Each structure stands twice: as structure tokens, then as C-alpha cells.
């Protein structure tokens, strides 16, 4: 833990945090002094993540949840708030995808991707916003992607979800800024995780790392309160 951590006394909820980007964000915000709530669908992986964070001295609460379920999201937010008293930061990180030509994708695949990547952000944000409004402060960070700004063959479902997420994020920012609530989108390029990106032959050593995305989250959450960073585009120094 850092001396005089800048996020001491705050609480952050990170979705999809059992591994990869979500875990890196949870770990970094915990190092900055925040109390951390994490969720994921895989209970076993989530418990492993909780144990790793706890062993690092981070105050962590973990609860399995599927962000596409309004009931599970409501329960997650209620229990997190009961555990920590308030949720200062929400990081919507949970995501999934399937890749391939649009005419070969199924309706179920469409529903799974859009429900997780877009509806899940809506449900989680809607659940935490009333508490943030009552306190007239808070910050929501949506982990989008450069795929929300660029098209590529086989990416129709994923790009649709991330383009939609950017539109949702920008509108949320306008809805909430009068209450002192900041909303930010972070758009990384390909990150070296086991997320289901299509085979590309990219050099993983040159790709973004989960810690790079966590650093971007740290940057936006520690900005001075009179301003907010509305969007971050994150690219590797060298093309993989």
C-alpha cells in the first residue's frame, strides 16, 4: 500500500474482475487505498482473485454475479453498499465476444455479447447512480475499446456493443455532470489477456498489458474534482 494513498476512504466496484484487465484495475485501486468490490460469473476464479487481493492487504468484497441479470446486479450493488457504506467508483469492465462474419453469427451470440457489454453497463450504472446523486459525487468508468471507433472483418457483434457503449457513456456524462458525477470511457487496443480476440499473430510482448489499462483508470479517478477526462484512447507504443 502507498503512504497517504489518494483513494483512502473510498470504495470501488469493478465488474468482470476475476482476471485480466478487471483484476489489474482492482489491484491498482486497492493499492491506492480504495476498498474493493469485485464480481465475475466464475465463482472459483472470483474466490482466487479475492484471496490474492486480500493477501496484498486490500480490503476486498467478492460476489459472483452476471451483469446481464438485473436481479443479480441489484443484489450485487445492494450488498456492496451494505458492506462498504457507499460506492464511490464503478468500473464497468465485464465483457465478452464472439468473432466471425455477421451472417454466420446466431441470435444467441448477439444477445450474449450485447447483454454483457452494453446492457450490463446500463444495469450496473443505473443501480449505483441514485446513491451517487444523493451524495453529489462519484465516478463511473466504462471500459470500451478501440473497436468502438474502428471496424474490422469479423467484429460486427463486438464493434456494435462497443460503439453503443461509447454512445451510452457520452449521454450518461451529460445526464450526470450537474450532480458532480463524472463518466469516462477508456478505449484500449488489443490487450495481452486470454479474452477471445480473433487470432491475429500479434506479438503479445508488444501488446498493451492489463496494468496499462489500470494506469489509465488511476489517472482518470485521481483527476481534480473540477474537471473530468471524458475519454482515453490507449495504444501500444509499437504495433504488435
Q: Which residues are catalytic?
A: 158
CA dihedral 109, 41, 24, 184 (to 10 degrees): 60
Is the CB of residue 22 less than 8 Å from the CB of residue 29?
Answer: no
Whole-number Å distance between alpha carbons of 80 and 90: 11
Continuous H helices in 14-141: 20-31, 43-55, 70-84, 107-114, 120-135
Amino acid at each position: 500500500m502507498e503512504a497517504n494513498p489518494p483513494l483512502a476512504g473510498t470504495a470501488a466496484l469493478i465488474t468482470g474482475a476475476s482476471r485480466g484487465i478487471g483484476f489489474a484495475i482492482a489491484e491498482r485501486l486497492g493499492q491506492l487505498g480504495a476498498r474493493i468490490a469485485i464480481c465475475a460469473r466464475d465463482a472459483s476464479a472470483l474466490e482466487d482473485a479475492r484471496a490474492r487481493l486480500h493477501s496484498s492487504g486490500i480490503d476486498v468484497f467478492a460476489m459472483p454475479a452476471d451483469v446481464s441479470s438485473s436481479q443479480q446486479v441489484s443484489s450485487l450493488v445492494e450488498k456492496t453498499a451494505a458492506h462498504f457504506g457507499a460506492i464511490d467508483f464503478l468500473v464497468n469492465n465485464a465483457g465478452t465476444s464472439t468473432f466471425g462474419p455477421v451472417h454466420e453469427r446466431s441470435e444467441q451470440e448477439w444477445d450474449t455479447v450485447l447483454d454483457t457489454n452494453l446492457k450490463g453497463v446500463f444495469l450496473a450504472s443505473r443501480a449505483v447512480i441514485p446513491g451517487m446523486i444523493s451524495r453529489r459525487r462519484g465516478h463511473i468508468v466504462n471500459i470500451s475499446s478501440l473497436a468502438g471507433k474502428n471496424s474490422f472483418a469479423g467484429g460486427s457483434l463486438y464493434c456494435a456493443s462497443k460503439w453503443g457503449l461509447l454512445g451510452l457513456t457520452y449521454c450518461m456524462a451529460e445526464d450526470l455532470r450537474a450532480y458532480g458525477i463524472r463518466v469516462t470511457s477508456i478505449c484500449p487496443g488489443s490487450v495481452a489477456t486470454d479474452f477471445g480476440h480473433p487470432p491475429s499473430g500479434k506479438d503479445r510482448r508488444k501488446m498493451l498489458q492489463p496494468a496499462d489499462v489500470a494506469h489509465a483508470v488511476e489517472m482518470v479517478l485521481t483527476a481534480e474534482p473540477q474537471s473530468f477526462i471524458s475519454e482515453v484512447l490507449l495504444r501500444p507504443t509499437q504495433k504488435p
